[in-house]
Structure 1
Amino acid sequence: MGAASSITRNSDAPIIRAENGVTLFQVEILTQAFAKRTDKALLEISKFGIRILDRSDNQVIKAIAMSLIHSWSPEARSIVFVCTNGNMDLYSIELSTTQCEEILSCLQQIVSQVLSTRKEQALNETEVIDLLSSLNKQNGSSDMSQLEVLKSQVEGRYLTSEKAFLVASSFSDTFDKMEATLFLQSHLVDQNKFSKILETFESEEERQNIWHRIYVKLY
């Protein structure tokens, strides 16, 4: 991915590295809840999301998948990321930087490239209808589970959150539905709308279990 190609280095707050689809910026953590280890940090941006690293040893302070980032906005000399936690509540992380424009450009370029690629590889209406039909046929069948059908037809492809909601709703077994939701999370065109799929679960405990497993995958 060439997300770093248009980033211009700034001597006031240099980019540490911009290669292999990963860009690192020097920042300072302004949100005290995340500055307990250190306030001197690196902001790592990639197509997978962002990570905040301790500048002294590169240890991860916080990792946030792109699907869990609600929004971001620049301030005078900082940038604020609004994110979703395991309870589906919003929280914010403010980072001091003189490179808001470069960071925003990097984020926008990654989002545009990811969306473009995923839209090209998304299942069309006919394919979605076929998938839903196959899932319904396998409901209660011993030949192949619904989860196996989903993975066989969607692996390497993508679905919009609206279509993924219909797919998840087709699952009769709760355990398989949870596994399917985790699979769908990484196969969404619009990952920022992942919470839409969780509406298919009646149990808050089940929804939080899924959020927890997503967080575990980040580390």
Structure 2
Amino acid sequence: MGAGASSAKRPPPEPTPAEIAALEQPFGREGGEMCFYCLPHDDEMKKRSPLVVMEVGPQGLRLMRPASDDCLYAYPWGQIHSWASADNRFSFRYFDDSKKAVVQSSLFLRDLEPLLTQIQTVIESILTDRKKLAIPAEKFAEVLQELQVAVSSGGSTPLDALQRHLTSEYYFWSAQGRQVLAAIPSAFDKIEVAVLLHGRLIDQNRFSHILETLESQADRDNVWHRITQLKKLSSKMAPSARH
């Protein structure tokens, strides 16, 4: 390797303003989803399709081939860690199960403001539906007390104590989820409970806020991995359940 050469991988080139301006108009679907034409920034995604349609709906983000129903990538809201935007660039962080880590993906699009508006609309709709099943403050105090008894007595696990309230009755706020994990001393039990909480959060897009209470990045990655595996198992079981 010559003098001054670097082994660091160079970032892929960004599209030109003319290429971004030439993208087609967004369009809507019957289910309320909005679709936006995007130019991928990641080389791996470009290899699969140099142009993608990003569908934004209640289930999350889906990246599809144009003029087809061929879904290249799917990102449920609960799997998305965070997102940011600047100029015509939209970036989001998510847990990549194949890499066992939170990674970032970026796309360029012409209609950035309508995209952000659609995301906000979808998130607010999800919050509205789940707020109706928010756990009352007095009930949440009882849950915390049950947790403390379970931890101190050893008669049942924190997971057992929570399942009675989480699996069918109530949704929790992420701030309450943090309180729940803070009341559990065992790292193993924290992971078990975090996986359970994921599907029962009102503000599921703030799940990463809960994961901050875990002791290590390895524990956080373990939670994401288990959630991903549960989703895969559910998707495999769903077709047989219809027969």
Map Cα deviations across residues 162-206 of structure 1 (whole Å, 9 max, x no partner).
211121233355444322101112222333332232233324322
Deviation at 1:29, TM superposition (A): 2.0
Indicate yes or no: 2:76 matched with 1:65: yes
Q: Structure 1 CA distance, aligned partners of 2:188 and 2:179?
A: 17
The match for 2:147 among 121, 124, 135 is 135
Which residue of structure 1 aligns with residue 33 of structure 2? Answer: 22
Aligned to 1:124: 136
Q: State the superposition RMSD in angstroms.
A: 2.9
What's the counterpart of residue 196 of structure 1? 209
Q: Does 1:53 align with 2:68?
A: no
Equivalence map 1:13-162=2 (5 Å)? 13-15=25-27, 18-55=29-66, 58-67=69-78, 68-73=80-85, 75=87, 78-85=88-95, 91-96=104-109, 98-139=110-151, 140-142=153-155, 144-155=156-167, 156-162=169-175
Do the aligned residues in 1 keep the contact of 2:81 with 2:206 (CA within 8 Å)?
Answer: no
| Whole-Å separation in 2 of the counterparts to 1:159 and 1:26 | 35
Aligned-pair CA distance for 1:50 = 0.7
Aligned partners of 1:56 and 1:215: how far apart in 2?
A: 28
More helix as a share of residues: 2
Q: What is the CA–CA distance in structure 1 between the aligned matches of 2:112 and 2:215, rounded to whole Å?
A: 41
> How far 1:74 moved relative to its partner?
5.6
Which position in structure 2 is the counterpart of 1:179?
A: 192
Distance in 2 of aligned mates of 1:12 and 1:200: 43
Larger Rg: 2
Identity of aligned residues (%): 25
C-alpha spacing 1:196/1:109, structure 2 compared with 1 (3 Å): closer
Give the direction of change, closer, same or farther, for the CA distance of 1:192–1:112 in structure 2 (3 Å limit): same
Partners in 2 of 1:94 and 1:83 — Cα distance?
12
Deviation (angstroms), 1:31: 3.4
Distance 2:94 2:33 in 1: 22
Q: Select which of 190, 206, 209 maps to 2:219.
A: 206
2:215 counterpart letter in structure 1: E
Instruction: Give the CA deviation at 1:38.
Output: 1.1
How far apart are the structure 1 equivalents of 2:101 and 2:210? 13
Runs (5+) with no aligned partner, structure 1: 1-10
- Residue 152 of structure 1 aligns to a residue in which SS? helix
In structure 2, the CA distance between the partners of 1:59 and 1:133, relative to structure 1 (3 Å rule), is: same
Report the 3-state secondary structure (helix = DSSP H, G, I; strand = E; otherwise coil) of the residue aligned with 2:171. coil
Deviation at 1:23, TM superposition (A): 3.4
What displacement does 1:215 show?
3.9
